[in-house]
Amino acid sequence: MKLNNKTFIGAFLTLSLALGFGSCTDDIAFGNKFLGKSPGTDATIDTVFNNAEYTRQFLVGTYALQYYGLPYKSDRSSDGYWNGKFDALTDCWQLHFSKSSVYLSYYSGQLTATSGSSSVFGYLNENCWELIHSAYLLQENIGRTPNMEETEKSQMKAETKCLIASTYFNMFRMYGGLPIVKRSFTYDEKSYDFPRTSVEETVNFMVDLLDDASKVLPWTPEDPTSETGRWTKAAAMALKCQILQFAASPLFNSDKPYYGSTYSMTDSSPVWYGNYSKDRWTRCKTACEDFLQQLNANGGYSLVQPATNTIEGYRYAFRYGYVNQNSPEVIFATRVSSFGKDTQYMWTQLGGGLNERYAYTPTQEYVEMFPWADGKPFNWAETEKAGKLDQMFVKGDTTATKQELQHRTYTRDPRLYETVMVNGDLETSSLNSGKVSGNNFELWDGGSRALNGPSTQSGYFATGYGNNKYITGTNSVYLRAQPQWVVLSLNDFYLTYAEALLQADDNFTGALQYVDKIRARVGLKGLVECNPDKDLTSNKTNLLNEILRERVCELGMSNSRYFDVKRYKLGDEVLSKQLHGLRMYRLRKVDGQWIHVNDIKDANTQWWNGDKVTDKGSNKNPGFYEPTHFDYQKFDLIKRTRAWWSGYDPKWYLEPFPETEVNKGYGLTQNPGW
C-alpha cells in the first residue's frame, strides 16, 4: 500500500476535525469561554422583584406553604399520614393505623426529643420557617418592584404579616414562646443568636403583626370568586381572638405552672406567664367585640341556616358551613390542591375509601357527648334502663315486604351523623342537600361494613364507629369538590366569644346566648332548658364544660379538641381516662329468643352483603329485614392503650423541640419534662 503521506495526513486531519468539531462548530473555544456558558433560563431574586407579576407570584408561593390539617401525603409532616392527625391524641378519636407516629410514638409514650420527624407538628417539618423566610424576602424586596401601586404593595405586605402571624401561632400552641425572626437570613450570618422569647413577647409579636395588617386589608376579599383564600381584615381580627384565647387559657395564664411546682428551666417565661391575670381574658373579649363590631358594620359572614327544620336541613346547613368554599361561615381556610382536580388521593378519597391510614375512629366517649335531637344530654345508663339503646342512632319501622327500615328517624344531634358514621345511618350523602341514601352502615360485629374491625380493634370501624368529618359518606360526592382546611370560622368565633364573656366578665347570659345560636342552627334547644340540673346560669364550671363539649360536637376533627384539652390542662380529668368502643352484636329471633347470630349455625352476620341477598324475596326468612335489634357492649380500647391512661405526664401539654436543634446553642431551650 503506497500512499502519499501528505495526502493522507491532510485527509486525516480533515476527518478528525470533522468528527471532533463538525457537528458543533460553535464550540470551538478554549479556556473559560469553553466552560463558562451558564444557564440562561434561571430566574434570580432580581428577576422576581423587578417584575410586578413575578412579585405577586412570590406572594402566592408563600401562601402555598401554609399549614393544612388533613393528612394526605406519604411523608412525615402534618400533611403526611405517617405521623397522624393530633385529634387522635384527644379523648374523642383513636387512630388505628399502626405505622403512624401517633400510634407508635405517642400512644406508647415513647416520644422523645430525639424522635425527630415523628412529632405530629415538627418544629422543623412544617414549612414554618420556610414560609417566614419567604414572607420576609417579599417584605424586604417589594419596595423595588416597578409598575406596582403603593397600595397594592402595602396590601401584599399586610398579607405576609398575617402569614407570619398565623404560622407563628401554629407553632406557639404546640411549643410555647419562640425565637422571633424579624428578617430574612443568609447562610453566613455573623452571629446566630436567636433566643426563645417569652409567651408574652411571642403573643404580642403575633398580635402586633395582625393589628398592622388589619389596618390595611379589606374586610372581605375584594372579588370572592377569585380571591377567597387570601388574608383579610376579618381573618386577621378573628385570628387575633384565637391567639388571645389560647394565651389567656390556664395553660399559660395561671397561678401555677403546668409542669410540676417549678420549672427546671432558668427562664420559664417561654412556657408560662408566671401568674394569672383576668386582663388577658378581657383582652380576648375586647378583640372579639372589635370583630363583632366590624361584622355588624360590614357583614359578609354568617352562620349557614337550615332551609328546613328537618334532619336533612340541619345536616346540610352544618355540612355546608365547613365544606363549601363559598360558605359564609368560613372566615379563612387553606388549600393544597386546586378545585375540581388533584383531590384523587387526598383525605376525602382515601378516608372515604375507608383506608386503614385514615382509621380515626370516634370513641364511645365522643359519641355520648352528642345530645338527643332535641338537645337533651344523652345518658347511657338511663337509655339502657329505658331499653332504648336500639334507638340511640336511628329508629324506624320494619314493614312487610320492605327489606329496608321504613320511616328512618334520626334520634340524636344532627351533627353526630355528619361527624361520625354510626350504625343505621345511610352511607351516601347528597351534594346539594342533606339527603342520605344507599346502604345502611352495618357497624355491628361482622356487619357488611365493619366486618371484624370492632372485634379485632382494627381498621376504619375499630370502635364500632367511623369518622365522617371531611369525609361526608363513603363514595363521597365531595370527592372532587372542596378540599379546604378551615382555619377560622364564625361558629368557632361565637364559641370563643362565649368563653371569653364567661371568663372575663362572668357573663352567663351573654355566653349562653352565643352557644345557643350554634345549637339552634341544628335544631337543639337552649342549654339551660336542656340541662335543668346543671345551674348553667350560675355554675361557671358547668357552663364552661358545656361550652367545651359544644365545641367538640361543633368542631370535630378540626384540631379544636386537641387545643381545648391542653389549654385547660385537662390531662388528669379527660386525657388519662381509658377510652371505649362499642361492639354491637346482631340479634335474631329463634324460638322467641333473641340470640347472637354468631351463635347460630350457618347464619350470616352480614346483612346487605349476606342475608339481604340470599333471603331476597322470601320475607318469611328471618334475615330478610334490616337488623334493628342488637346487643351492645362497650369495650376498652387496647389497640393501643395510651401511656397516659395510667397517669398523665404534663410534659405532653407542649411538644419537645428536637434535641439536636436545642444543641445548636442559638438560644432554644427545651420544654419542661423532655
Partner 1 sequence: MNRRKLLKGTVLPVAVMSAAMTFTPAIGVQHAFAFTQQVGQNNVRGTIVDERGETVIGATVMVVGSASNGTVTDLDGNFYLNVKPGTKLKVSFVGYDPMIVIAKDGMKVTLKENTNNLQTVEVVAYGVQKKVTVTGALSSIKGEDLVRTPVSSVNNVLAGQLSGVTTVQYSGEPGSDAAKVFVRGQATFNNADPLVQVDGVERSMGDIDPEEIESITVLKDASATAVFGVRGANGVVLITTKRGKEGKASVTANTSFSILTPTKMVEQADSYGYATFYNKMCDNDGVAHVFSDEIIEKFRTGSDPIRFPSIKWDDYIMKNSTVQTKTNVSISGGTSKMRYFINAGMYTQGGLFKEFGQDYDFGYQYNRFNYRANLDLDVTKTTTLSFNIAGSVDNSNKPHTGQGASGMVQALYQATPFSSPGIIDGRYVETTADYSDLKLPFVGGSGITYYGNAGVNGGFFQYSNNKLQLDAQLNQKLDMITKGLSFKIKGSYNSLFGSTKEGARAMASYYPVLKKDGSIGYRISGQTGQIAYSEKTGRDRDWYFETSLTYNRSFGLNNVGALLLLNQSKNYYPETFSDIPQGYAGVVGRLTYDWNNRYMAEFNIGYNGSENFAPSKRYGTFPAGSLGWVVSDESFWKPLKKVVSFLKLRVSYGLVGNDKIGGSRFMYLDDPYNVNNSGVYARGGRGYNFGIENNTVSKGAYEMSRNNPNVTWEKAFKQDYGADIYFIKDKLRATVDYYKEHRTDILLHDGTLPSILGFTTPAENLGVVDSWGYELSFKWNDKLGKDFLYWAGVNLSYNQNEVKEDKEVPYNNQYQYAQGHRLGARSEYKFYRFYDAQTPALYEKEFGEKFPTQLAGDNLQPGDAVYVDLDHNGKIDGNDMSRSNGYTDDPEYVIGVNFGFTYKNLSISTQWTGAWNVSRMIDDVFREPFVNRTGNTQGGLLQYHIDNTWNAENPGQNYEYPRATLENSDNNYATSTLYEKDAKYLRLKTLQVAYDFHMAFMKKLGLNQLQLSFSGYNLLTITPYKWGDPETRASGSPSYPLQKTYTFSLKVGF
Which 322-361 positions form the footprint of partner 1 (CB under 8 A)?
325-326, 335-342, 346, 355-357
Instruction: Considering the complex, state which of residue 289 and residue 661 has its C-beta at the smaller distance from partner 1.
Output: 661
List 126, 182, 200, 226, residue binding partner 1 (CB under 8 A): 226
Instruction: Determine contact, residues 334/67, Cβ cutoff 8 Å.
Output: yes
Q: Does residue number 218 form part of the binding site for partner 1 (CB under 8 A)? A: no
Q: Does 146 bind partner 1 (CB under 8 A)?
A: no
Which residues does 591 contact at the CB level (< 8 Å), separation at least 6?
none
- By CB atoms closer than 10 A (0-12, 13-18, 19+), residue 520 is middle
Site membership for partner 1, residue 256 (CB under 8 A): no
For residues 211 and 356, which CB has a smaller minimum distance to partner 1 in the complex?
Answer: 356
In the region spanning residues 618 to 647, those forming contacts with partner 1, defined by CB under 8 A, are: 638-641, 643, 646
**132 is an interface residue for partner 1 by CB under 8 A:** yes
Residues 87-106 close enough to bind partner 1 by CB under 8 A? 97-99, 104-105
Tell me the three-class secondary structure of 86-116, residue by residue.
HHHHCCCEEECCCCCHHHHHHCCCCCCCCCH
* Nearest CB to partner 1, comparing residues 406 and 456: 456
Closer to partner 1 by Cβ: residue 15 or 386: 15
| CB closer to partner 1 out of 589 and 664 | 664
Using CB under 8 A, which residues numbered 585 to 614 contact partner 1? 602, 604, 606, 609-610, 613-614
Q: Does 75 bind partner 1 (CB under 8 A)?
A: no
Does 297 bind partner 1 (CB under 8 A)? Our answer is no
Asked whether position 235 contacts partner 1 by CB under 8 A, the answer is no
What radius of gyration, in Å, describes the C-alpha atoms of the chain? Answer: 30
Span of 13-21, 285-293, 363-371, 409-417 interacting with partner 1 by CB under 8 A: 13-21
Least distance from partner 1 to the Cβ atom of residue 566, Å: 22
Q: Does 409 bind partner 1 (CB under 8 A)?
A: no
Which residues, in sequence order, are CB contacts of 458 under 8 Å at separation 6+?
96, 356, 359, 452, 639
Min dist CB 509 to partner 1, Å, is: 37
Here the cell at position 18 is 470533522
Cα–Cα separations (whole angstroms), residue 457 to 95, 422, 448, 586, 637: 10, 16, 16, 18, 8
Using the minimum distance from each CB to partner 1, give the nearer residue, 245 or 403: 403
DSSP 445: T
The residue behind cell 423566610 is: 133
| Part of the chain binding partner 1 (CB under 8 A), chosen from 113-121, 142-150, 517-525, 560-568 | 113-121
Nearest to 103 by CA among 473, 457, 580, 634: 457
Q: Does 67 bind partner 1 (CB under 8 A)?
A: no
Least Å distance, CB 142 to partner 1, is: 12
In the three-class reduction of DSSP (H, G, I as helix; E, B as strand; rest coil), residue 427 is classed as strand
Q: Residue 569 — left, alpha, or beta (φ > 0 → left; ψ -120 to 50 → alpha)? A: left
| Alpha helices (H) along 532-617 | 540-554, 560-567, 612-614
275 forms part of the interface with partner 1 (CB under 8 A): no
Provide the minimum distance between the beta carbon of 57 and partner 1 in the complex, in angstroms, as a whole number: 4
Instruction: Output the CA–CA distances (angstroms, integers) from residue 109 to 115, 333, 508, in the order listed.
Output: 12, 32, 39
* Helix, strand, or coil (residue 501): helix
- Per CB under 8 A, which of residues 167..196 are in contact with partner 1? 179, 181, 184-187, 189, 192, 194
346 or 548: CB nearest partner 1: 346
Query: What SS3 state is found at 428?
Result: strand
580: contact with partner 1 by CB under 8 A: no
Q: Which of 38, 296, 432, 509 binds partner 1 (CB under 8 A)?
A: 38
Minimum CB distance to partner 1, residue 417 (Å):
25
Question: Which three-class secondary structure string do you get for 643-664?
Answer: HHHHCCCHHHHCCCCCHHHHHC
Residue number, 446 or 571, with CB nearest to partner 1:
446
Please give the C-alpha separations between residue 346 and each of 81, 362, 423, 478, in angstroms, as whole numbers: 10, 20, 25, 12
**How is residue 358 written as a grid cell?**
385514615
Residues between 653 and 672 that touch partner 1 (CB under 8 A): 659-661, 663-666, 668
The angle at the Cα of 417, spanning 610 to 502, to the nearest 5 degrees, equals: 155
Give the nearer residue to partner 1 in terms of CB position, either 411 or 467.
467
How near is the Cβ of 181 to partner 1 at its closest, in Å?
6
Cell numbers 355528619 correspond to 418
When binding is defined by CB under 8 A, the residue of 451, 490, 501, 565 that contacts partner 1 is 451
Q: Which of 124, 292, 389, 595 lies at the binding interface for partner 1 (CB under 8 A)? A: 124
In angstroms, what is the minimal distance from the CB of 51 to partner 1? 8
**Residue 117 sits in the site that holds partner 1 (CB under 8 A):** no
Q: Which is nearer to partner 1, 380 or 666 (CB)?
A: 666
Pick the closer one to partner 1 by CB: 123 or 366: 123
Contact indicator for 536, 551 with CB cutoff of 8 Å: no
Q: How far apart are CA 234 and CA 546, in angstroms?
A: 27
DSSP label at residue 228: B
- Least distance between partner 1 and beta carbon 205 (Å): 14
Number of residues near partner 1 (by CB under 8 A): 129
Least separation in angstroms between CB 152 and partner 1: 15
Nearer to partner 1, 368 or 659 (CB): 659
With CB under 8 A as the contact rule, which of the stretches 109-117, 151-159, 265-273, 564-572 interacts with partner 1?
109-117
Q: Dihedral, CA atoms, 631, 636, 639, 644, nearest 10 degrees?
A: 160
Could you tell me the sign of the dihedral formed by the alpha carbons of 131, 136, 142, 144, in that order? negative
CA distance 485 to 470: 9
Residue pair 341/479 in contact by the 8 Å Cβ criterion: no
Exactly one of 198, 228, 348, 559 binds partner 1 (CB under 8 A); which one?
Answer: 228
Of 206, 161, 174, whose CA–CA distance to 77 is shortest?
Answer: 174
* Residue 440 in the binding site for partner 1 (CB under 8 A): no
Q: How far is the CB of 302 from partner 1 (least distance, A)?
A: 16
Instruction: Kindly state the cell numbers that stand for 268.
Output: 420559664
Task: Determine, following the binding rule CB under 8 A, whether residue 14 of this chain makes contact with partner 1.
Answer: no
End-to-end CA distance of the chain: 88
Site for partner 1, residues 475 to 534, rule: CB under 8 A? 481-482
Rounded to the nearest whole angstrom, what is the least distance from the CB of residue 528 to partner 1 in the complex? 38
Q: Which of 16, 275, 309, 578 binds partner 1 (CB under 8 A)?
A: 16
- The burial class, CB within 10 Å (0-12 / 13-18 / 19+), for 3 is exposed
- Which stretch in 288-296, 363-371, 447-455, 501-509 sits in contact with partner 1 by CB under 8 A? 447-455
Is residue 137 close enough to count as binding partner 1 by CB under 8 A?
yes
Q: At what angle do helices 150-175 and 233-248 cross, to 10 degrees?
A: 20
Tell me the C-alpha distance between 647 and 471, whole Å.
34
**Grid cell in block for residue 298:** 360590614
Identify which of residues 60 and 297 has a Cβ nearer to partner 1 in the complex: 60
**Residue 539 binds partner 1, judged by CB under 8 A:** no
